Amino acid sequence: MSERRSTGPAASDTSVRRALVMAGVGGVLAAGLIGPGAASAQAAESCPDVQVVFARGTAEPAGLGRVGQAFVDDLQNELSGRTVSVYAVNYPASYDFLQSAPVGADDASARIQATVATCPATSIVIGGYSQGAAAVDLITADPNATFGFGRPLPPAVADHVAAVAVFGNPSTKIGRPLTAVSPLYGANAIDLCNGADPVCSSGDDRPAHSQYVQAGLAQQAADFVAGRVAGHSPSDVVINASAR
């Protein structure tokens, strides 16, 4: 786990597991969220304009990962003049992806919900690469628990999320891009697959899965997200965990 402040339908189980295997190769807050009145004035003053929550890919060292770091760097350049806080999702990102990805989903969800509770005026950006993209899918694009996770973000959180950016998303390989299957986040999402990357397409260009930065897709995502952040106005919403 790391944090930094700066300025700047349904698929079969077999298909799902196969898609997640390709990604491998290449707790939720119990009390829920409370209204903005619970945050102290001091906490409000320290809230960033933008909170980025990003999940790295399989086997990358703890932190943002190479794609995540490039995306964050480009986004900070695009958002010059705004304060940006960055949170690297704390999860194993191991080859045991069926166990690892849900851990990432829970950690990302907890951080996002905590941000909404303490900083309701902050615009949230969610991102992930490869297995990290799968973790993001679990909380934003699978409300019916098609993949067996069943712990999506509370619906009202969507009002606080300016954009979602995923790279090399295994769900895209099986025809479930986040942009198409997420009723709450799809319109503000960008789901990028690099050419014939076999993790997210029917192609077989394995090196493509490691070339998102070189292909300019981190910058493309940053451009998209910056545009969404510019037009975003978080709403003050009270979220009750019992309504989940």
Which of 107, 137, 191, 209 is catalytic? The answer is 209
232 assigned to active site: no
130 assigned to active site: yes
236 assigned to active site: no
Structure tokens at 208: 């493509």
Which of 123, 137, 197, 232 is catalytic? The answer is 197
Q: How many CA atoms lie within 13 A of 102 on its CB side?
A: 10
Which of 130, 142, 182, 232 is catalytic? The answer is 130
Residues involved in catalysis: 130, 197, 209
